[in-house]
Structure 1
């Protein structure tokens, strides 16, 4: 199973089109996870036309998106449990907020966004994964998204690129 993971698209303000490396990964993905900050409902609609999408809202998302998507969710895929959250609620770091969102829950992987900083880290038995942003790299050297493959185990990696077109 292949899952394309993205967050913090901030479209159409930060980009009017999807980056080519992201589109390439979406083409052969079984699922798409978006960890919030879509910014416009058209982004959700376009992404759902490309595949099966699971997403959550972020701090910049408009009311229309908030009416469709939850603030956090748990998705079962490939025999694994994924916690999906943006990571902006709480008083700690984005990573700490994401971990706290699933306190008491049994998840194999927590996917979050908000910071725009790519992260791949093991925390006990749980994998923490922030895909970065495909359209708003902020102070990062490159744009990015993530790819997760499940073959009994979870394998996550970042895909980095210099251009958001």
Structure 2
């Protein structure tokens, strides 16, 4: 299973659009996971034209997005339990990845996906894959824009960034 992973699109409408490299890769995905800061549900609709979409709200999302998607969830894809959180809360004093770990403390997850910092991250901690795809539209201090892909096969998950 190929999973597209994106966060922090920060687009107020689909008129500006998402980068063509992201649209091309996500067109091959079985599902797309968005980790918040959509800013507009138009982005959901745009991604849903490519593949089924699951997501959560971020700190820059309004009441409609929060009500529709929630702010935290665990989904299971082909036997892999994936925690999804934006990363701004709960506050851990250990950075965005620390916040993400705290959000799922005591729960069985194989992978935690988060955003918020716009900083790509891929590492394992205590057997849990931590993955922040970065941002495809707002790289801030990063050298490149980015998003991510997960490959799930036989109950195992691997992740990689696409930088552009």
TM-score tier (shorter): over 0.9
CA RMSD in angstroms, aligned pairs only: 1.5
| Alpha-carbon shift at residue 124 of structure 1 (Å) | 1.4
**CA gap 1:13/1:138 in 2 versus in 1, 3 angstroms:** farther
Q: Is 1:113–2:143 an aligned residue pair?
A: no
How many correspondences in the alignment? 161
Report the TM-score when normalising by structure 2. 0.94
Residue segments in structure 1 that go unaligned for 5+ positions in a row: none
Report if aligned partners of 2:7, 2:135 keep a CA contact under 8 Å in 1.
yes
Distance in structure 1 (CA, Å) of the matches to 2:144 and 2:13: 18
Structure-1 residue corresponding to 2:43:
43
Q: Which runs of 5+ in 2 are unaligned?
A: none
Q: Deviation per CA, 1:4-30, whole angstroms, max 9, x where unpaired?
A: 000000003798111111111111111
Q: How does 1:78-89 map to 2 (within 5 A)?
A: 78-89=78-89
Query: Where does residue 142 of structure 2 map in the other structure?
Result: 140
Distance 1:15 1:150 in 2: 32
Distance 1:77 1:160 in 2: 25
Identify the residue that residue 155 of structure 1 maps to in structure 2.
158
Specify the SS of the correspondent of 1:38: coil
Distance change in 2, residues 1:64/1:147 (3 Å): same
